[in-house]
């Protein structure tokens, strides 16, 4: 499954680059890159598409091979509402989740800070470790799902020496996730291997 996801990640990032759709990898794969190897059932992307680019974007997604299940109406609605749509890779059953970049200040900030990195022998746009931590804390605040807190702890503890602590501190306050952020150093990562 992991090899299939890796291949799918490479295909999708190439496709987005070739079609000039600004993107960044987020979610589990940014946690895997900065923190810990773990299973994931999907690959998450944030993409930037304006409403006036709907027809061009739809044309681009229709160019994907037939083994990708594309729902045109769902993509169109997601772009209009700046929400989310999925594409299913039929041979593997793996899901690609595309989140539209919103006008939310944190979304804009993290997208502007994305990094172009060589991953798996290919250049890809990835969320920063700080923004991976912050988004995971944000999701934990909303849903109290333990994996989000643990993911944030892995990235925080492993990347601690490289993190922009001022940036983190500002957004931790702004997003009202201070009490969860304080837990990150206390989580024993060995329990999750």
What's the pLDDT tens digit per position in 64-120? 989 999 999 999 999 999 999 999 999 989 999 999 999 999 999 999 999 999 998
35 within 8 A of 158, measured Cβ to Cβ: yes
pTM to 2 decimal places: 0.93
> If you average pLDDT over every residue of the chain, what do you get?
94
Q: How confident is the model at residue 3 (pLDDT cuts 50, 70, 90)?
A: confident
Q: In what order do the strands lie in the sheet with 42-47?
A: 68-69, 84-89, 94-100, 42-47, 23-26, 122-126, 115-119
- Where in the chain are the domains? 2-126, 129-192
Whether 22 shows a pLDDT value over 70: the answer reads yes
Q: Between the CA of residue 25 and those of 125, 184, 185, what are the distances in Å? A: 6, 22, 25
- CATH class of the region 2-126: alpha beta
The Cα–Cα gap between 110 and 98 comes to 16
Q: Which residues of 73-101 are buried (b: 16+ CB within 10 A; e: fewer)?
A: eebbebbeebebbebebeeeebbbbbbbb
């Amino acid at each position: 499954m992991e090899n299939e996801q890796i291949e799918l990640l490479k295909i999708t990032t190439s496709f987005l680059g070739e079609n000039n759709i600004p993107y960044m990898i987020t979610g589990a794969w940014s946690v895997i890159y900065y923190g810990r190897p773990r299973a994931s059932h999907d690959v998450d992307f944030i993409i930037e598409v304006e409403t006036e680019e709907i027809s061009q974007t739809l044309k681009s997604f229709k160019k994907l091979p037939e083994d990708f299940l594309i729902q045109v109406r769902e993509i169109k609605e997601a772009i209009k509402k700046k929400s989310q749509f999925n594409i299913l890779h039929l041979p593997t059953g793996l899901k690609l989740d595309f989140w539209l970049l919103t006008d939310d200040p944190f979304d804009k900030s993290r997208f502007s800070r994305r990094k172009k990195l060589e991953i798996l022998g290919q250049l890809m746009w990835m969320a920063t470790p700080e923004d991976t931590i912050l988004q995971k804390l944000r999701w934990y605040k909303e849903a109290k799902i333990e994996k989000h807190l643990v993911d944030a702890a892995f990235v925080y503890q492993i990347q601690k020496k490289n993190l922009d602590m001022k940036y983190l501190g500002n957004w931790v306050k702004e997003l009202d996730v201070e009490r969860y952020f304080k837990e990150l150093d206390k989580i024993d990562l060995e329990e999750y291997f």
